[in-house]
Amino acid sequence: MLRPHTSLDAKSSEAIRGAKLKRRDLLKKILGLGAIALGTHLPYSRLSESDNSAIQFTAEPELHPALAEVFEALMTDEGAQTLATLASASPILSEAEPGSESAAAETPKPVTPVQPESETVDDPLPLASAPDGEDARLEKIRRFNEVFTDDIFLTSGEYATLIAALKRINRVQAYVGHGNFNILAFDDMLNYARGVPEIGRFRQDEKALMDRLFHDDASQLGFFGKKVIVRMTHRVPKREVIKVPYTGHYLYKGDALKLYERLRDDIGDRLILTSGVRSVVKQYQLFMAKAVASAGNLSKASRSLAPPGHSYHGIGDFDVGKVGFHINNFTAAFAQTDVCRELQRLDYIGIRYTTRNKYGVRYEPWHMRVVL
């Protein structure tokens, strides 16, 4: 599993390089592959309304052959905007509990998020040209969505296993409900899978892959945070958490809840909890979905999401956003909102992932640090 990124063979690369793909056709291909990483149910009828302008391939794909054509298109500016539109319809990424007030108020709509200039990159940065040490880490944080030459990829077989396991995890979430899923323990997930035919037992290769994602040294991926949950079977103590009304999310009682309530007092009901306590299972789902969207690039996934066992959401941290800002609350566009500007004026908050953080994770102005 832990191997550097490699290119397609010359024949496959030549066949793809210089090709064109229509925007609407790209969407159909994504949906044809199941759009598993996005969790979207965007209907085909909506595709006929999409702009079908051509997208030119310009760079060598360097992706798994089965997905190279689709993901190469996503490397272009137009492709990235198309992906962002699909992501805005994602129930996985929106994280609102179905039936909750916030879910009703924030029905996903296919809108293109604002793309700040700081996230616009003209050409890929090969690792060889990046400075060593801290400067290299900070460069990767800034260009978190790019592919670097020392990134670690899953093999094609492991990638297929990853998709199968993620589908099964998503079926567990659908069965237990989004709110309950946020604090679901690993053993309980396995029990649901064994006992509910429509979920189905996790295969041995799926369990083996999840075991490695939890136990392998995350620093090999470029993630340098400590492991804050040491057992894959860790349980969120229910007596220590409280469900926050109208969000579908939980917070730990004590410091986390007090901080959130103080933020709401100071900023008002424009601020909302977008992600609270996450069990190991919840972090698996988010990290694996990001890895699928990254074509099996675990390093790229770890620049946006902590690997399972490493998320401070498991022990106290939480995310906030602006009501009605939907998926943009998890992008750099959030930094331009009035809610974020007011947060930055408060002298009692801390941001976990700053622009110069030691963890190797992208800047996240929405992530409130509770645990030191």
Residue 25's pLDDT is 54
CA 353 – CA 280 distance, rounded (Å): 20
Instruction: List the alpha helices (DSSP H) in the chain.
Output: 10-16, 23-32, 44-47, 68-74, 77-87, 91-94, 101-105, 134-142, 156-176, 178-181, 186-195, 204-215, 255-267, 280-293, 298-302, 338-344
Residue type, 352: R
The answer to whether 39 and 92 have CB atoms below 8 angstroms apart is yes
- pTM higher than 0.75: no
Q: Which of 114-123, 153-162, 255-264 shows the lowest per-residue confidence on average (mean pLDDT)?
A: 114-123
Residue type, 231: R
Strand, coil or helix: what is 360? coil
CA 262 – CA 252 distance, rounded (Å): 15
Residue 372's pLDDT is 84
pLDDT at 106 over 50: no
pLDDT tens across 8-44, in order?
Answer: 444 444 444 444 445 445 544 554 444 333 333 333 2
As beta bridge partners, residue 112 has: none
The answer to whether 285 and 163 have CB atoms below 8 angstroms apart is no
CB atoms within 10 A of CB 41: 11
pLDDT tens across 313-323, in order?
Answer: 999 999 999 99
Average pLDDT over residues 167-189: 98
Categorize the per-residue pLDDT at 88 as very low, low, confident or very high, splitting at 50, 70 and 90: very low
Strand, coil or helix: what is 321? strand
Spatial neighbors of 320 by CB under 8 A, at least 6 apart, are 260, 263, 271, 272, 273, 274, 339, 343, 366, 368
Residue 87's pLDDT is 41
CA 239 – CA 182 distance, rounded (Å): 15
Residue 178's pLDDT is 96
CA 337 to chain centre: 21
Which has more pLDDT, 47 or 215?
Answer: 215
β pairing state of 318-322 and 271-275? antiparallel
Beta strands in 287-330 (DSSP E): 318-322
Mean pLDDT of the chain: 77
pLDDT at 200 over 50: yes
Q: Which of 117-121, 134-138, 175-179, 297-301 shows the lowest per-residue confidence on average (mean pLDDT)?
A: 117-121
| Assigned token pair, 245 | 């009304």
pLDDT tens across 205-226, in order?
Answer: 999 999 999 999 999 999 999 9
Categorize the per-residue pLDDT at 91 as very low, low, confident or very high, splitting at 50, 70 and 90: very low
**Considering only CA atoms, which of 300, 286, 273, 302 is closest in space to residue 368?**
273
Residue 1's pLDDT is 63
Residue type, 19: A
Residue 152 main-chain phi, psi, to 5 deg: -100, 125
Residue 6's pLDDT is 47
pLDDT at 346 over 70: yes
State the DSSP string of 12-31.
Answer: HHHHHTT-EEEHHHHHHHHH
Residue 4's pLDDT is 59
Q: Which of 76-85, 109-118, 271-280 shows the lowest per-residue confidence on average (mean pLDDT)?
A: 109-118
Residue type, 296: G
Spatial neighbors of 263 by CB under 8 A, at least 6 apart, are 271, 320, 343, 346, 349, 368
Residue 132's pLDDT is 61
Categorize the per-residue pLDDT at 53 as very low, low, confident or very high, splitting at 50, 70 and 90: very low
The answer to whether 126 and 118 have CB atoms below 8 angstroms apart is no
Domain ranges of the chain: 1-89, 96-107+118-368
222 backbone φψ class: left, alpha, beta (φ>0; ψ -120 to 50): left
At which residue do the structure tokens 């509990």 appear? 97
The answer to whether 113 and 59 have CB atoms below 8 angstroms apart is no
pLDDT tens across 114-145, in order?
Answer: 333 333 333 444 543 444 667 888 999 999 99
pLDDT at 164 over 90: yes
Categorize the per-residue pLDDT at 370 as very low, low, confident or very high, splitting at 50, 70 and 90: very high
Which has more pLDDT, 1 or 75?
Answer: 1
Residue 31's pLDDT is 45
pLDDT at 169 over 90: yes
Q: Which fold has domain 96-107+118-368?
A: Muramoyl-pentapeptide Carboxypeptidase; domain 2 (3.30.1380)
Residue 308's pLDDT is 98
Residue 222's pLDDT is 96
Residue 248's pLDDT is 95
CA 84 – CA 351 distance, rounded (Å): 25
DSSP-based helix, strand, coil % in the chain, nearest 5: 45, 10, 45
